[in-house]
Amino acid sequence: MAKVLYNGDIQEEVLQGKKIAIIGYGSQGHAHALNLKESGFDVVVGLRPGKSWDKAVEDGVQVTTVAEATAQADVVMVLLPDELQPKVYEESIKPNLKAGDALVFAHGFNIHFNQIVPPADVDVFLVAPKGPGHLVRRTFTEGAGVPALYAVYQDYTGQAKDLALAYAKGIGSARAGVLQTSFQEETETDLFGEQAVLCGGTTALIKAGFETLVEAGYQPEVAYFECLHELKLIVDLLYEGGLEYMRYSISDTAQWGDFVSGPRVVNEETKARMKEVLKDIQTGAFAKGWILENQANRPQFNAINRAENNHPIEVVGRELRALMPFIKKPNQKKEVVVHG
């Protein structure tokens, strides 16, 4: 089994006395900044004036521009949206990095696909929590944490690995487990996971199930509860105890149906498609498409997004959720986005 590190395995002294700039204050940024601050580290947030800036001020963290935060800091964690990182890096981060600083990421995309090429005289590593930012924050306040991966891309000071581990401990991830990876493995597995299983695979499965029932004449409300709402309850069981515990909790009828019908829906052909998805990630074809889509101002992304938001499952879902006041209303897009 791979070596998983916990709080007791990690010395945080190497990060004490260093100034940490958190660039961005969104899903991940607010969680890293607040958790590190409460773990006793010296944090400054780098932003542009706007919504996040106001929120950071409200939360009582020190805020300044990206350029100034980078200039002040020894460790610079880049928590901007991946597609904006190269531009902000060139304009405001790179000119303010000094020899021996650490440039840090929560996802390997821009380094792995060469959209950011760091100078040779800085450490470059990643600390990637395996969960959405709002859970990185919430679990920390509850005394728990979200597991994280770390990887060293460039070790200029000889301390990159120790810094990465101390950082992971500071955000609370060593309460749950910290595991070594490479930029390549983190980038490719993260993209694959969100495309094939967590986000793309799940939304496609939900829609196909909903459409099958509705096209057969069943009520959309019933189809919504069956194929979407109840999924959370099943996922909670999977999270707590794996496939076995989930199957223990459901009826034997459901378990028998799981055994005989699951492999008819997700079969060898599905797996062959997953392999194609993985190949596109590995060859850079997916990255190229996403980079070009952003350069073209996202015409396809926006068109698909509009159509998806008008899917019948979304229409009926909005109506049903409005009648369930115990379901937390997302006040911000990111709170319902479990990409990660």
Which residues line the annotated binding site for Mg(2+)? 190, 194, 226, 230
Choose, from 32, 107, 112, 134, the residue flagged as catalytic: 107
Could you tell which of ligand NDP, Mg ion, none binds residue 275, using a CB distance below 5 to 8 A set by kind? none
Quick check: is 107 catalytic? yes
Q: Identify the residue among 29, 118, 170, 317 touching ligand NDP (CB under 6 A).
A: 29
How many residues bind to ligand NDP according to rule CB under 6 A?
27
Smallest separation, CB 267 to Mg ion (Å): 26
Smallest separation, CB 198 to Mg ion (Å): 7
Q: Identify the residue among 86, 133, 170, 172 touching ligand NDP (CB under 6 A).
A: 133
Smallest separation, CB 68 to Mg ion (Å): 28
Nearer to ligand NDP, 5 or 31 (CB): 31
Q: How far does the chain reach from its first CA to its final CA, in angstroms? A: 24
Q: Nearest-CA neighbor of 48 among 115, 93, 96?
A: 93
Does 52 bind ligand NDP (CB under 6 A)? Our answer is yes
d(CA 115, CA 46): 21
Own/partner pairs, 230-238, CB within 8 angstroms, 24+ separation = 231/202, 231/206
Q: Is 53 left (phi over 0), alpha (psi -120 to 50) or beta?
A: alpha
Q: Nearest-CA neighbor of 126 among 174, 67, 89, 168?
A: 168
Q: Identify the residue among 24, 118, 145, 170 touching ligand NDP (CB under 6 A).
A: 24
Nearer to ligand NDP, 239 or 245 (CB): 239
Could you tell which of Mg ion, ligand NDP, none binds residue 273, using a CB distance below 5 to 8 A set by kind? none
Residue whose CB is nearest to ligand NDP in the complex, by number: 26
Q: Which residues pair with 78 in a beta bridge?
A: 23, 105
Would you say 336 and 228 are in contact if contact means Cβ atoms under 8 Å apart?
no
Does 20 bind ligand NDP (CB under 6 A)? Our answer is no
Nearer to ligand NDP, 33 or 316 (CB): 33
d(CA 224, CA 234): 15
Could you tell which of ligand NDP, Mg ion, none binds residue 28, using a CB distance below 5 to 8 A set by kind? ligand NDP
d(CA 143, CA 206): 33
Lookup: tokens for 220? 């959309």
**C-alpha atoms less than 13 angstroms from C-alpha of 149 in its C-beta half-sphere:** 21
Does 108 bind ligand NDP (CB under 6 A)? Our answer is no
Lookup: tokens for 154? 């460039």
Q: Identify the residue among 12, 123, 186, 190 touching Mg ion (CB under 5 A).
A: 190
Q: Site residues for ligand NDP, window 142-201 (CB under 6 A)?
A: none
Q: Identify the residue among 44, 73, 88, 165 touching ligand NDP (CB under 6 A).
A: 88
Helix, strand, coil content of the chain in percent (nearest 5):
60, 10, 30
Smallest separation, CB 330 to ligand NDP (Å): 13
Could you tell which of Mg ion, ligand NDP, none binds residue 94, using a CB distance below 5 to 8 A set by kind? none
Helix (H) or strand (E) run with residue 4 in it: strand 4-5
Give the SS3 label for residue 76. Answer: strand
- Angle (CA) 297-299-304 rounded to 5° is 135
Nearer to Mg ion, 189 or 255 (CB): 189
